[in-house]
Homo-oligomer: A and B are copies of this chain.
Amino acid sequence: MPRSKPPTMSDVAKLAGVSPMTVSRALRPNASASESTRKKIREAADQLGYVLDSTAAGLSSRKTGFVAVTIPSINNANFANTIRGLNEGLQDSGLQVLLGFTDYNIKEEERLVEAFLRRRPEAIVVTGGVHTERCRRYLAASGVPVIEIWDLPSSPIEHSVGFSNVKAGRAMANYLVDKGYKNIGFIGGNTKQDARGSDRCEGFAEVLEERGLSTERLRISEEPVRNMAQGAAAMDYLIDKHPDTQAVMCASDLSAFGAMMSCQRRGLKVPEDIAIAGFGGYDISANAIPQITTLEAGDYQIGTETAKVILSQLADDNDETEERAPQRIKIATQLLERESTSPK
Protein backbone atom coordinates (compact mmCIF):
# COMPACT_ATOMS: atom_id res chain seq x y z
CA MET A 1 0.00 0.00 0.00
CA PRO A 2 2.05 2.92 -1.25
CA ARG A 3 1.55 5.98 0.90
CA SER A 4 2.91 8.33 -1.73
CA LYS A 5 0.12 10.42 -3.11
CA PRO A 6 -1.28 9.40 -6.45
CA PRO A 7 0.13 10.98 -9.63
CA THR A 8 -1.59 14.00 -11.15
CA MET A 9 -2.14 15.10 -14.65
CA SER A 10 0.95 17.29 -14.44
CA ASP A 11 3.07 14.26 -13.64
CA VAL A 12 1.76 12.54 -16.72
CA ALA A 13 2.31 15.70 -18.76
CA LYS A 14 5.90 15.99 -17.63
CA LEU A 15 6.65 12.38 -18.45
CA ALA A 16 5.05 12.67 -21.88
CA GLY A 17 6.68 16.02 -22.58
CA VAL A 18 3.46 17.95 -23.14
CA SER A 19 1.30 20.40 -21.22
CA PRO A 20 -1.30 19.26 -18.71
CA MET A 21 -4.03 20.60 -20.93
CA THR A 22 -2.99 18.28 -23.69
CA VAL A 23 -3.17 15.36 -21.31
CA SER A 24 -6.66 16.40 -20.32
CA ARG A 25 -7.67 16.45 -23.96
CA ALA A 26 -5.95 13.23 -24.88
CA LEU A 27 -7.73 11.35 -22.13
CA ARG A 28 -11.14 12.38 -23.32
CA PRO A 29 -12.80 10.77 -26.32
CA ASN A 30 -14.09 13.83 -28.16
CA ALA A 31 -11.35 16.36 -27.64
CA SER A 32 -8.88 17.22 -30.32
CA ALA A 33 -5.51 15.58 -29.94
CA SER A 34 -3.32 13.87 -32.50
CA GLU A 35 -3.12 10.13 -32.44
CA SER A 36 0.62 10.20 -31.84
CA THR A 37 0.58 12.37 -28.72
CA ARG A 38 -2.49 10.56 -27.54
CA LYS A 39 -0.61 7.31 -27.65
CA LYS A 40 2.41 8.82 -25.94
CA ILE A 41 0.22 10.18 -23.17
CA ARG A 42 -1.64 6.95 -22.70
CA GLU A 43 1.64 5.17 -22.24
CA ALA A 44 2.88 7.71 -19.73
CA ALA A 45 -0.39 7.48 -17.82
CA ASP A 46 -0.22 3.71 -17.80
CA GLN A 47 3.32 3.75 -16.58
CA LEU A 48 2.48 6.00 -13.67
CA GLY A 49 -0.77 4.22 -12.92
CA TYR A 50 -2.58 7.50 -13.38
CA VAL A 51 -6.30 7.68 -12.76
CA LEU A 52 -8.24 10.81 -13.58
CA ASP A 53 -9.57 12.71 -10.59
CA SER A 54 -13.16 13.42 -11.44
CA THR A 55 -13.59 15.41 -8.26
CA ALA A 56 -11.29 18.05 -9.67
CA ALA A 57 -12.65 17.58 -13.17
CA GLY A 58 -16.16 18.10 -11.91
CA LEU A 59 -15.26 21.21 -10.03
CA SER A 60 -13.65 22.73 -13.05
CA SER A 61 -16.11 21.70 -15.71
CA ARG A 62 -19.16 22.04 -13.45
CA LYS A 63 -20.25 18.58 -14.51
CA THR A 64 -20.04 15.87 -11.92
CA GLY A 65 -21.48 13.05 -13.99
CA PHE A 66 -23.78 12.07 -11.16
CA VAL A 67 -27.44 11.24 -11.29
CA ALA A 68 -28.83 11.09 -7.76
CA VAL A 69 -31.57 8.54 -7.21
CA THR A 70 -33.58 7.71 -4.12
CA ILE A 71 -35.63 4.55 -3.76
CA PRO A 72 -37.48 3.38 -0.68
CA SER A 73 -35.62 0.12 -0.22
CA ILE A 74 -32.96 -2.01 -1.77
CA ASN A 75 -34.86 -5.12 -0.67
CA ASN A 76 -37.52 -4.76 -3.29
CA ALA A 77 -37.42 -6.37 -6.68
CA ASN A 78 -39.57 -3.68 -8.27
CA PHE A 79 -37.26 -0.84 -7.37
CA ALA A 80 -34.26 -3.02 -8.13
CA ASN A 81 -35.58 -3.50 -11.64
CA THR A 82 -36.09 0.20 -12.03
CA ILE A 83 -32.48 0.78 -11.07
CA ARG A 84 -31.38 -1.88 -13.54
CA GLY A 85 -33.32 -0.15 -16.27
CA LEU A 86 -31.93 3.21 -15.31
CA ASN A 87 -28.36 1.93 -15.28
CA GLU A 88 -28.96 0.28 -18.61
CA GLY A 89 -30.29 3.46 -20.15
CA LEU A 90 -27.49 5.57 -18.75
CA GLN A 91 -24.72 3.17 -19.62
CA ASP A 92 -23.13 4.92 -22.56
CA SER A 93 -23.69 8.43 -21.32
CA GLY A 94 -20.89 8.54 -18.78
CA LEU A 95 -23.45 9.33 -16.12
CA GLN A 96 -23.15 7.48 -12.83
CA VAL A 97 -26.00 6.67 -10.51
CA LEU A 98 -25.68 7.77 -6.91
CA LEU A 99 -28.15 5.55 -5.13
CA GLY A 100 -29.75 6.11 -1.74
CA PHE A 101 -32.46 4.41 0.29
CA THR A 102 -35.18 6.24 2.15
CA ASP A 103 -36.60 3.26 4.03
CA TYR A 104 -40.10 4.41 3.03
CA ASN A 105 -39.63 7.51 5.13
CA ILE A 106 -39.97 10.98 3.64
CA LYS A 107 -37.99 12.56 6.46
CA GLU A 108 -35.15 10.25 5.62
CA GLU A 109 -35.66 11.14 1.97
CA GLU A 110 -35.20 14.78 2.85
CA ARG A 111 -31.88 14.06 4.56
CA LEU A 112 -30.78 11.98 1.62
CA VAL A 113 -31.72 14.61 -0.93
CA GLU A 114 -29.79 17.24 0.94
CA ALA A 115 -26.73 15.01 1.12
CA PHE A 116 -27.06 14.29 -2.59
CA LEU A 117 -27.42 17.93 -3.50
CA ARG A 118 -24.01 18.54 -2.01
CA ARG A 119 -22.60 16.28 -4.67
CA ARG A 120 -24.01 18.54 -7.36
CA PRO A 121 -25.73 15.87 -9.43
CA GLU A 122 -26.79 16.69 -12.95
CA ALA A 123 -30.24 15.24 -12.40
CA ILE A 124 -32.27 13.98 -9.46
CA VAL A 125 -34.68 11.08 -9.41
CA VAL A 126 -36.96 10.48 -6.46
CA THR A 127 -39.46 7.71 -5.93
CA GLY A 128 -42.99 8.80 -5.27
CA GLY A 129 -44.74 12.12 -5.33
CA VAL A 130 -44.97 12.76 -1.59
CA HIS A 131 -42.15 14.71 0.03
CA THR A 132 -41.57 16.97 2.97
CA GLU A 133 -42.06 20.66 2.38
CA ARG A 134 -38.37 21.32 2.81
CA CYS A 135 -37.51 18.50 0.44
CA ARG A 136 -39.74 19.97 -2.25
CA ARG A 137 -37.98 23.29 -1.85
CA TYR A 138 -34.58 21.65 -2.15
CA LEU A 139 -35.61 19.84 -5.29
CA ALA A 140 -37.27 22.82 -6.91
CA ALA A 141 -34.26 25.03 -6.22
CA SER A 142 -31.70 22.46 -7.28
CA GLY A 143 -31.38 23.89 -10.75
CA VAL A 144 -31.23 20.46 -12.36
CA PRO A 145 -33.91 18.22 -13.84
CA VAL A 146 -36.03 16.52 -11.18
CA ILE A 147 -37.93 13.36 -11.98
CA GLU A 148 -40.50 11.72 -9.77
CA ILE A 149 -41.01 8.06 -10.55
CA TRP A 150 -43.42 5.27 -9.66
CA ASP A 151 -46.26 7.70 -9.52
CA LEU A 152 -47.93 10.45 -11.51
CA PRO A 153 -48.29 13.15 -8.86
CA SER A 154 -51.14 15.58 -9.22
CA SER A 155 -48.73 18.46 -8.62
CA PRO A 156 -45.39 17.23 -9.90
CA ILE A 157 -42.21 19.10 -9.11
CA GLU A 158 -41.07 18.81 -12.69
CA HIS A 159 -40.98 15.57 -14.67
CA SER A 160 -42.60 12.29 -13.79
CA VAL A 161 -42.39 8.72 -15.01
CA GLY A 162 -44.85 6.23 -13.62
CA PHE A 163 -48.42 5.14 -13.50
CA SER A 164 -51.49 5.90 -11.48
CA ASN A 165 -51.60 3.70 -8.42
CA VAL A 166 -55.23 4.60 -7.95
CA LYS A 167 -56.02 3.30 -11.41
CA ALA A 168 -53.98 0.19 -10.75
CA GLY A 169 -56.12 -0.51 -7.69
CA ARG A 170 -59.26 0.14 -9.71
CA ALA A 171 -58.16 -2.23 -12.43
CA MET A 172 -57.67 -5.11 -10.05
CA ALA A 173 -60.93 -4.41 -8.25
CA ASN A 174 -62.85 -4.33 -11.49
CA TYR A 175 -61.26 -7.56 -12.56
CA LEU A 176 -62.24 -9.30 -9.33
CA VAL A 177 -65.76 -7.96 -9.38
CA ASP A 178 -66.13 -9.00 -13.02
CA LYS A 179 -65.05 -12.47 -11.99
CA GLY A 180 -68.11 -12.61 -9.81
CA TYR A 181 -66.55 -12.26 -6.38
CA LYS A 182 -68.64 -10.32 -3.87
CA ASN A 183 -66.87 -10.32 -0.53
CA ILE A 184 -63.62 -8.74 -1.52
CA GLY A 185 -60.78 -7.60 0.70
CA PHE A 186 -57.56 -5.68 0.40
CA ILE A 187 -54.45 -6.37 2.41
CA GLY A 188 -52.01 -3.54 2.73
CA GLY A 189 -50.53 -1.01 5.04
CA ASN A 190 -52.07 2.30 5.84
CA THR A 191 -48.91 4.30 6.08
CA LYS A 192 -48.95 7.97 5.31
CA GLN A 193 -45.31 7.76 4.36
CA ASP A 194 -45.82 5.47 1.42
CA ALA A 195 -48.63 6.83 -0.67
CA ARG A 196 -48.34 4.27 -3.44
CA GLY A 197 -49.81 1.40 -1.45
CA SER A 198 -52.66 3.45 -0.03
CA ASP A 199 -53.40 4.92 -3.45
CA ARG A 200 -53.91 1.44 -4.78
CA CYS A 201 -56.18 0.68 -1.88
CA GLU A 202 -58.09 3.86 -2.50
CA GLY A 203 -58.74 2.97 -6.13
CA PHE A 204 -59.70 -0.50 -5.08
CA ALA A 205 -62.20 0.84 -2.58
CA GLU A 206 -63.68 3.30 -5.07
CA VAL A 207 -64.64 0.50 -7.39
CA LEU A 208 -66.12 -1.65 -4.65
CA GLU A 209 -68.33 1.24 -3.65
CA GLU A 210 -69.29 2.15 -7.18
CA ARG A 211 -70.31 -1.41 -7.81
CA GLY A 212 -72.27 -1.73 -4.63
CA LEU A 213 -69.99 -4.00 -2.64
CA SER A 214 -68.90 -3.82 0.96
CA THR A 215 -65.64 -2.08 1.79
CA GLU A 216 -65.34 -3.43 5.28
CA ARG A 217 -62.55 -5.80 4.35
CA LEU A 218 -60.06 -3.11 3.47
CA ARG A 219 -56.88 -1.81 4.96
CA ILE A 220 -56.47 -4.32 7.66
CA SER A 221 -53.19 -3.23 9.14
CA GLU A 222 -51.83 0.01 10.44
CA GLU A 223 -48.36 -1.38 9.93
CA PRO A 224 -46.79 -1.72 6.50
CA VAL A 225 -47.53 -5.02 4.82
CA ARG A 226 -44.72 -5.73 2.45
CA ASN A 227 -43.18 -9.09 3.15
CA MET A 228 -44.43 -12.62 3.28
CA ALA A 229 -44.81 -12.89 7.02
CA GLN A 230 -46.80 -9.67 7.19
CA GLY A 231 -49.03 -10.88 4.38
CA ALA A 232 -49.63 -14.15 6.19
CA ALA A 233 -50.48 -12.42 9.45
CA ALA A 234 -52.82 -9.99 7.72
CA MET A 235 -54.60 -12.83 5.97
CA ASP A 236 -55.07 -14.69 9.22
CA TYR A 237 -56.56 -11.61 10.76
CA LEU A 238 -58.82 -10.98 7.78
CA ILE A 239 -60.20 -14.49 7.62
CA ASP A 240 -60.75 -14.65 11.34
CA LYS A 241 -62.74 -11.45 11.14
CA HIS A 242 -64.51 -12.16 7.84
CA PRO A 243 -64.62 -15.89 7.21
CA ASP A 244 -66.83 -15.31 4.19
CA THR A 245 -64.14 -13.49 2.24
CA GLN A 246 -64.01 -14.69 -1.33
CA ALA A 247 -61.18 -12.71 -2.87
CA VAL A 248 -58.29 -10.57 -1.67
CA MET A 249 -55.85 -8.25 -3.33
CA CYS A 250 -52.53 -7.80 -1.59
CA ALA A 251 -50.29 -4.76 -1.77
CA SER A 252 -47.49 -6.84 -3.21
CA ASP A 253 -46.82 -10.29 -4.58
CA LEU A 254 -44.75 -11.10 -1.53
CA SER A 255 -47.58 -10.46 0.86
CA ALA A 256 -49.88 -12.28 -1.55
CA PHE A 257 -47.66 -15.32 -1.35
CA GLY A 258 -47.58 -15.12 2.42
CA ALA A 259 -51.34 -14.80 2.44
CA MET A 260 -51.66 -17.79 0.18
CA MET A 261 -49.47 -19.89 2.45
CA SER A 262 -51.60 -18.82 5.35
CA CYS A 263 -54.69 -20.08 3.52
CA GLN A 264 -53.01 -23.32 2.68
CA ARG A 265 -52.16 -23.87 6.33
CA ARG A 266 -55.80 -23.42 7.23
CA GLY A 267 -56.88 -25.87 4.58
CA LEU A 268 -58.39 -23.19 2.36
CA LYS A 269 -57.86 -23.89 -1.31
CA VAL A 270 -56.77 -21.13 -3.65
CA PRO A 271 -58.59 -20.20 -5.81
CA GLU A 272 -61.50 -22.56 -5.06
CA ASP A 273 -62.15 -21.35 -1.54
CA ILE A 274 -60.56 -17.96 -1.79
CA ALA A 275 -58.98 -16.01 -4.63
CA ILE A 276 -55.77 -14.07 -4.16
CA ALA A 277 -54.15 -11.40 -6.29
CA GLY A 278 -50.91 -9.55 -5.79
CA PHE A 279 -49.06 -6.63 -7.24
CA GLY A 280 -45.72 -6.09 -8.86
CA GLY A 281 -45.17 -8.98 -11.23
CA TYR A 282 -42.58 -10.59 -8.98
CA ASP A 283 -40.89 -13.82 -9.93
CA ILE A 284 -42.71 -15.62 -7.20
CA SER A 285 -46.12 -14.89 -8.62
CA ALA A 286 -45.16 -16.80 -11.76
CA ASN A 287 -43.49 -19.67 -9.94
CA ALA A 288 -45.73 -20.34 -6.97
CA ILE A 289 -48.34 -23.06 -7.08
CA PRO A 290 -50.89 -21.91 -7.85
CA GLN A 291 -49.47 -19.06 -9.88
CA ILE A 292 -50.60 -15.72 -8.56
CA THR A 293 -52.60 -13.17 -10.49
CA THR A 294 -50.75 -9.90 -10.40
CA LEU A 295 -50.46 -6.45 -11.83
CA GLU A 296 -47.22 -5.93 -13.64
CA ALA A 297 -46.06 -2.38 -13.06
CA GLY A 298 -43.47 -1.97 -15.78
CA ASP A 299 -40.74 -1.45 -13.21
CA TYR A 300 -37.82 -1.98 -15.56
CA GLN A 301 -39.38 0.29 -18.12
CA ILE A 302 -39.75 3.05 -15.56
CA GLY A 303 -35.99 2.94 -15.30
CA THR A 304 -35.29 3.04 -19.02
CA GLU A 305 -37.80 5.81 -19.61
CA THR A 306 -36.37 7.82 -16.77
CA ALA A 307 -32.96 7.51 -18.36
CA LYS A 308 -34.39 8.84 -21.61
CA VAL A 309 -35.91 11.83 -19.87
CA ILE A 310 -32.64 12.62 -18.15
CA LEU A 311 -30.62 12.39 -21.34
CA SER A 312 -33.03 14.50 -23.32
CA GLN A 313 -33.17 17.13 -20.59
CA LEU A 314 -29.41 17.34 -20.37
CA ALA A 315 -29.18 17.56 -24.15
CA ASP A 316 -31.74 20.36 -24.18
CA ASP A 317 -29.63 22.12 -21.65
CA ASN A 318 -26.87 22.38 -24.19
CA ASP A 319 -29.17 23.78 -26.81
CA GLU A 320 -30.59 26.24 -24.33
CA THR A 321 -32.81 27.46 -27.17
CA GLU A 322 -36.10 25.88 -26.26
CA GLU A 323 -37.64 26.06 -22.87
CA ARG A 324 -37.62 22.86 -20.85
CA ALA A 325 -41.12 21.46 -20.80
CA PRO A 326 -41.96 19.13 -17.92
CA GLN A 327 -42.43 15.62 -19.22
CA ARG A 328 -45.02 13.24 -17.89
CA ILE A 329 -44.36 9.70 -19.03
CA LYS A 330 -47.13 7.22 -18.42
CA ILE A 331 -46.05 3.62 -18.03
CA ALA A 332 -48.53 0.93 -18.96
CA THR A 333 -49.47 -1.61 -16.32
CA GLN A 334 -50.69 -5.05 -17.23
CA LEU A 335 -52.97 -7.36 -15.35
CA LEU A 336 -51.64 -10.89 -15.55
CA GLU A 337 -54.40 -13.34 -14.91
CA ARG A 338 -53.11 -16.48 -13.27
CA GLU A 339 -54.38 -19.51 -11.43
CA SER A 340 -54.91 -17.89 -8.06
CA THR A 341 -58.03 -16.12 -9.29
CA SER A 342 -59.22 -18.52 -11.98
CA PRO A 343 -61.52 -21.21 -10.70
CA LYS A 344 -60.69 -24.17 -12.86
User: Which A residues have a C-beta under 8 Å from some C-beta of B?
Assistant: 1-6, 49, 51-56, 58-59, 64, 74-75, 77, 80-81, 83-84, 87, 96, 98-99, 101, 114-115, 117-120, 137-138, 140-141, 143, 158, 227-229, 232, 254, 257-258, 261, 264-265, 283-284, 286-289, 324
Contacts and interface: CB of A to CB of B under 8 A. Distances in A.
Contact of A74 (B59, B74, B143): B74
A41 to B, nearest CB: 17
A2 B137 CA distance: 12
A261 B283 contact: no
A110 to B, nearest CB: 13
Contacts of A59: 53, 55-56, 59
Given A119-B54, A228-B287, A80 B87 contact: no
Contacts of A101: 84, 87
A4 B288 CA distance: 55
A257 B283 CA distance: 11
Given A52-B118, A75-B84, A261-B287, 17 more contacts: A1-B143, A1-B158, A1-B324, A51-B114, A51-B117, A53-B59, A53-B118, A53-B120, A54-B120, A55-B55, A55-B58, A74-B83, A74-B84, A75-B81, A228-B287, A258-B287, A264-B289
Nearest to A2: B143
Given A51-B118, A257-B287, A75 B77 contact: yes
A101 B85 CA distance: 12
A163 to B, nearest CB: 21
A98 B97 CA distance: 8
B119 A55 contact: yes
27 contacts: A1-B140, A1-B143, A1-B158, A2-B143, A4-B143, A6-B143, A51-B114, A52-B118, A53-B59, A53-B120, A54-B118, A54-B119, A55-B59, A55-B120, A56-B59, A74-B80, A74-B83, A80-B80, A84-B101, A87-B101, A228-B284, A232-B287, A257-B284, A257-B287, A261-B287, A261-B288, A264-B289
